[in-house]
């Protein structure tokens, strides 16, 4: 039986009910976080909490909870060894639909659940991802992790229809990010290039550790936007996210990256990342 968290209670999935007048449903007036679980341990929980609280602050949603305790309980209650924990907070329930916010003392809706997923032994790590590029038509505050994911979902389905794995979105021919991942390339002279942190991209938690591991491997890192042509001419390309960790990209718009196989640096970064998070999980056990 799958156990979820809703507003202070741990209940069976079938018993979790949210009002039809919840602002998360009516306006996507909500934020969320997703945390990796490896060997039964939450990965980078502190950074995820920091980002969740920043997102709440940017939208002036007041919500207080012991986020790590909620996540740990869900892992235990669901016997989760590998997968994800999602935390979601909306502004709460209104009496009727109204663009204006409800009273400041309106309780938020806090919902969380665990989900099994293969992370470490994902077979895509051996083959690499193929992506398309499409215009980034999302709103201008991509740095806030909101539940406004319709355009990302549309792009995911466009990738599926085209027989590839995902989409890298672009503004003025510069790559911003994937539909649910940060995008990176490694130039032919061994420089890792990753879009700078600004309102165009989500400040990825996995991105932080990924760049640290790349530097430890001796790679220079430039945080700046890169063009589609620059990406196609790169020696390697990859993404980072809580759901895919570090994953090679071997094709962009039908153009092979490097020799069309996962790159050596990307492989080493993934291995180093996995080693680092597994060491961290052991020290917090």
> For the chain, what are the domain ranges?
3-116, 124-281
State whether CATH 3.30.470.10 applies to domain 3-116.
yes
Instruction: List, in order, residues 6 or more apart from 54 with CB less than 8 Å away.
Output: 144
Task: Indicate the fold that domain 124-281 takes in CATH.
Answer: D-amino Acid Aminotransferase; Chain A, domain 2 (3.20.10)
Distance CA 97, CA 263 (A): 51
Tell me which residue of 34, 31, 40 sits closest to 282, measured CA to CA. Answer: 40
Kindly provide the b/e burial profile for residues 217-247, where b requires at least 16 CB atoms within 10 angstroms of the residue's own CB.
Answer: eebeeeeebbebeebbebbbbbbbbbbbbbb
- β-strands 3-6, 109-116: how paired? antiparallel
| Bridge-based pairing state of the strands 166-171 and 129-135 | parallel
The per-residue pLDDT for range 165-207, each reduced to its tens digit, is: 999 999 999 999 999 999 999 999 999 999 999 999 999 999 9
Using CA atoms, how far residue 39 sits from 19, 31, 189, 205, in Å, is: 35, 27, 37, 19
Per-residue CA distances from 31 to 192, 195, 270, 285 (Å): 30, 22, 28, 28
pLDDT of amino acid 282: 63
Tokens 């602050």 belong to 57
With DSSP H G I counted as helix, E B as strand and the rest as coil, what are the percentages for the chain, rounded to 5? 30, 30, 40
Catalytic residue (one of 13, 17, 145, 215): 145
Cβ burial of 133 (10 Å; 0-12, 13-18, 19+) is: middle
145 is catalytic: yes
Q: Convert the pLDDT of each residue in 6-49 to its tens digit.
A: 999 999 999 999 999 999 999 999 999 999 999 999 999 999 99
Residue count of the chain: 285
* Gap between the Cα atoms of 93 and 102, Å rounded: 8
Instruction: Give the residue, 165 or 104, on which the prediction is more confident.
Output: 165
66-102 burial string, b = 16+ CB within 10 Å, else e? Answer: ebeebbbbbbeebebebbbbbbbbbbbbbeeeeeebb
Digit-coded pLDDT (tens) for 111-155: 999 999 999 999 999 999 999 999 999 999 999 999 999 999 999
Strands 236-241 and 245-252, sheet pairing: antiparallel
Q: What does the pLDDT look like over 39-97, one tens digit per residue? A: 999 999 999 999 999 999 999 999 999 999 999 999 999 999 999 999 999 999 999 99
């Amino acid at each position: 039986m799958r156990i979820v968290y809703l507003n202070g209670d741990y209940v069976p999935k079938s018993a979790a009910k949210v009002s039809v007048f919840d602002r998360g449903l009516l306006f996507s007036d909500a934020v969320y976080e997703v945390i990796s679980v490896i060997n039964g341990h939450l990965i980078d929980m502190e950074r995820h909490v920091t980002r969740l609280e920043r997102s709440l602050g940017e939208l002036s949603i007041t919500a207080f909870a012991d986020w790590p305790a909620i996540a740990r309980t869900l892992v235990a209650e669901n016997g989760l060894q590998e997968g994800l924990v999602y935390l979601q907070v909306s502004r709460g329930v209104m009496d009727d639909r109204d663009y204006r916010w409800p009273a400041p003392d309106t309780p938020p809706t806090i919902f969380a659940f665990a989900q099994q997923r293969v992370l470490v032994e994902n077979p895509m790590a051996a083959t690499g991802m193929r992506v398309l590029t499409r215009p980034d038509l999302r709103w201008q505050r991509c740095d806030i992790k909101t539940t406004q994911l319709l355009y990302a979902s549309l792009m995911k389905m466009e990738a599926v229809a085209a027989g590839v794995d995902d989409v890298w979105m672009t503004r003025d021919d510069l790559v911003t990010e994937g539909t649910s991942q940060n995008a990176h390339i490694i130039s032919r002279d061994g420089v890792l290039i990753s879009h700078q942190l600004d309102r165009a991209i989500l400040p990825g938690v996995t991105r932080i550790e990924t760049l640290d591991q790349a530097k430890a491997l001796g790679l220079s890192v430039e945080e700046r936007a890169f063009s589609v042509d620059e990406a196609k001419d790169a020696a390697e390309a990859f993404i980072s996210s809580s759901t895919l960790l570090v994953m090679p990209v071997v094709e962009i718009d039908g153009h092979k990256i490097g020799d069309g196989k996962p790159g050596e640096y990307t492989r080493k970064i993934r291995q180093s990342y996995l080693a680092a998070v597994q060491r961290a999980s052991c020290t917090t056990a």
